[in-house]
Amino acid sequence: MRVGLMTNILVQEGLKDFSALAEWAEQNGFEDLEVGPTIPLDRAVYEKVMGRGGIRVSSLTYCRNFLSTDAREATLHREELRKRIVFAGELGIEKVVTSTGINKSLEEGVYDRADAIRRIPARSLDEVREVFLPLVELAEKHKVKIAFENCPLMGNIAISPVLWRRLFELLDSPNAGIAYDPSHLVWEMIDPYAPVAEFAGRIFHVHAKDAQIDRTRLAQTGILTDFSWWKYRIPGRGELHWKRLIGELRKIGYDGTISLEHEDEDYAGSLSRVKEGLLLGRACLEAALTSQGSALERKESE
């Protein structure tokens, strides 16, 4: 497995030159880049970065609401996703990480026990299929994998094992899979380890992000008042047991990217602080990889 990082937070804090960003990542032990939409699709710049040899670009990320009821917005986002699929194929970039979209208007005039407090993601499945079947076909043509991020905090319905099963029934292609982010499963109260085995053939990418639950606060707010009872953290500062998760990934033969997605507010606000957080997260992942690997070697030698 390769430890990489997602570029967004570094760009957000001022490191906008892609070549300089890649150089910093390589010098600090990262092997892979997941490139967010804040970095332009400039072929010459990408080829320069990818030609360095010390670091890979394995994925482009574009997560938006492709089912927006604003037709101009939806069309724009779909076109940007198409561009990234084609661009990835031309440059030999393996994956495009994305969301599904969700049609919020489908809630109107429908009622069940949950409707008063949330939208129902499954109602958007047919529209997701309609939008993504041609995009998956485009990805197949260009030999690119589409990995659906499982974050609920965007236009997205690929947020749970139940919905993954239904989604892949509708998008039955070897090029459609998951960008597996266990941090979202933590605060959704879903086992973050068990789904790895079931979706072994669909896990194309892994986000390394942790989540911390404040149970004292949760006891006061419950899960619906607000989201003050949980926070995203860099690996090692939350609920997740990274050695266990890496062990589950090794069991299914996953040997791809573990991409550090830094959204920890305690390590934000300046470029130096963000870099510090990224390095702490990388150290946690490296320790878990080394420890898990040593345990596996001992087991194989017995």
For residue 162, is it left (φ>0), alpha (ψ between -120 and 50) or beta?
A: alpha
Q: Check pLDDT > 70 for residue 293.
A: no
For the chain, the average pLDDT equals 93
Instruction: Show Cβ contacts of residue 163 under 8 Å, excluding neighbours closer than 6 positions.
Output: 121, 122, 125, 157
Q: Give residue 291's identity as a one-letter amino acid code.
A: S
Structurally, the chain folds into a number of domains equal to 1
Distance separating alpha carbons of residues 98 and 180, to the nearest angstrom: 11
Residue 292, domain CATH: 3.20.20.150
Q: If you compute the radius of gyration of the chain from its CA atoms, what whole number of angstroms results?
A: 19
**Residue 109, pLDDT score:** 54
Q: Decide the pairing of beta strands 257-260 and 203-208.
A: parallel
List, for residues 17-64, the tens digit of each pLDDT value: 999 999 999 999 999 999 999 999 999 999 999 998 889 999 999 999
Secondary structure element (H or E) that encloses residue 260, with its range: strand 257-260
Q: Are 125 and 157 contacting, i.e. CB atoms less than 8 angstroms apart?
A: yes
**Residue 144, pLDDT score:** 98
Distance separating alpha carbons of residues 26 and 52, to the nearest angstrom: 10
List, for residues 224-239, the tens digit of each pLDDT value: 899 999 999 999 999 9
List, for residues 78-115, the tens digit of each pLDDT value: 999 999 999 999 999 999 999 999 988 765 555 555 55
Q: Which domain holds residue 68?
A: 2-301
